[in-house]
Structure 1
């Protein structure tokens, strides 16, 4: 396999990395057009940690669409009718205000309101009652509402990501909020865990575990914590990818010799072979409409991205720039291909418009990128990379202008996958 970490894992070469649980957000870069918004401190938020206004501001900044203005000033909440003059002086176009108050049953009543500062117009708001453990999710929902109101696109802040860590001899598969916080361990093992992949309904994560001393595919139910063994055939079982309807997984198996692509029922069963090449075919991913599978193959002499009908058939080559292109990811609208290209020995995240000229553009300046995954609204890409001596998860806008690092305390992050919109 050419995915750098998967190659190392399959042949016993994964390096140790410390685990982590908490993240901080560092946003770098400047977009050409960003909406200036002020987030006033929510009334009562000091009694309802974490600070809701800080989470909302970090979400909006990370999207690359907003520039957050200093929100300090008069005490405001969702029932206030604010004087817009000081906010106009701060050059804010919009203002978010709100509150958090504890209810008799122990839950928190979280409310917010959004204002158009230029027009002094109420843009609406909402209220939600949540247990304390869901306050972060409530803040993400508010950021989603603000994002959608001001950009017209659906926000992704209340979605989840999956990733893998290693601490000493222990590997962990984590499910976390989209900002990396609130991480919950889905699986811990003394053997490597790789290639987590979300189902389209956000209820299941497929992954590869080496606990049987070989790569085996499991499906984990996020809500119940139960898992099902899907592929444990002779040889290697790896690189699971969900069909959009959640009924099928595409996998890479070496049961019949070299690594080839198969499909298998999401509940397990007998796999159906898709490819018949003399090389290695791996890293399948479905197109959003389910009609095609993109994958990596060296059938032309070096790893490139190919596309074929989801039921099998003649593959056509998709990438032509460079001689080493791996780890394809397709945007939710099916228009953009993200992948990792090795250029002069450096692994960089590239994007390419499908159906266009075939020109690929590098959007990072790092040299060890891996595992790209699109946000469900298609506006950001999540990936892993190495900065200095530390591995980290990053998000980037599609033009590469705005990047945010989700960094742990002395820990490395790897194998990220961005989950779908939650119902």
Structure 2
């Protein structure tokens, strides 16, 4: 029996039908398009069975599948090692071309190069597209072609290029919906993939909450953030639509989106920063790395209410307010002298919006070891941060119900910890 010639669109961190660059181009190929999602065991094997992010991915694909059903198509879902999955697909279908959107993380770059090489050996064309960012790889560089390592000049060049183009182009696939392959693949239960539904939910994003973002964003009790970050991470929203909106409505929020792209291009240009200090001069720091201290930080029992509230919010919900992220990260690295990599790994395990580039970039910023980082002698005082940003203790009481009934003493004195951190950093800097 002759197999139908088809193209594939491979969903990854772009879980939407609307304004999806790679999908837009796939639907204009010469063959019916089969949408594909692979639950990659190389990633899944390291996750707990009730991981909230897997539940969110599953729900997002289910929403895509419902949309595809309206015009007689569906998502083909596979589970396994990615290369093995593609090997089986080559036997099952007469694949002419494969389309996907780029991912800029080291693991993904290596994976995609391997898959494309295997496809080309079988005379299958492989097409990748920019979708996750406005400007990628080497589009925003210094005059000498080298990447920026300081945010402000990067931001200025980014804005200049964006305004020259007028806006970010948005891709409408509606005219090409008939080009999806007509099929009804079975949609597996979450349990069949080896997971169970998490009690932690990804909240819907809400741009109306950030009307006064510049004035309110640092006050966690106000809950005035958009909850967009997990949706950006997994691509259930279009970065182009979001940036075009922010440019019209909210320049402060736009700056935060540019920070995201800054860290993505840093990771792409300097992949070693995942496991090493961006500034090698800090490689000589003698971290204490006390495991009991780390456990108290993880559980939110340090005796500093603003730190503990943040960690409990993270543990219970998978979210943490951005201002509080800075406070808890600084506390771990400076007050406890625990290597930023320990904190980065814990956030990677817990955060619904975990994105490698931002997580590594922000942790090294807090530790003082990264590009354009806070200076090493800047040590957040948790008590001052609490007074400035949660003066009435509303945020703290939400996450620490026992706060008014005699709270724990701080595990370390701030003045002592500050002096210890500064002297340790100073002694560890490699000249």
TM-score by length of structure 2 reads: 0.23
Q: Which has the higher contact order (CA 8 A, sep 6+)?
A: 2
TM-score by length of structure 1 reads: 0.23
When you count helix as a share of all residues, which structure comes out higher?
Answer: 2
When you count strand as a share of all residues, which structure comes out higher?
Answer: 1
